[in-house]
Amino acid sequence: MKLSDAKSGDWLKVLAIEHDCDEYACKLEAMGLRKGDMIKVLNKSFFGPVQIEVNGAKIALCRAQAKKIDVEKI
């Protein structure tokens, strides 16, 4: 499942991060998002960013970024 398909309040485990270049993966890692992390979806409205919490940090990702992150519900 993709992060963009998750619902508000879901707890997820990051399985993989698809990236077109290493710069994208490095940016997510710098924000604290890595493969294997447990994340919580804080807010996902019909339009707008997907807000998540990972390791105590709150991050907002655009829908295009969220579509590149494979997760599983826990």
- Domain-by-domain residue ranges, the chain? 3-73
pLDDT, tens only, 26-64: 788 888 888 899 999 999 888 889 999 999 999 999 888
- Tokens representing 43? 């807010």
User: What are the φ and ψ backbone dihedral angles of 34, each rounded to 5 degrees?
Assistant: -135, 160
Side-by-side strand order, sheet with 57-61: 57-61, 50-54, 38-44, 11-17, 69-73
- The model carries a pTM of 0.85
- Residues forming beta bridges with residue 58, ordered by sequence position: 53
CATH top-level class for 3-73?
mainly beta
Q: What is the dihedral of CA 6, 7, 13, 16, to 10 degrees?
A: 20
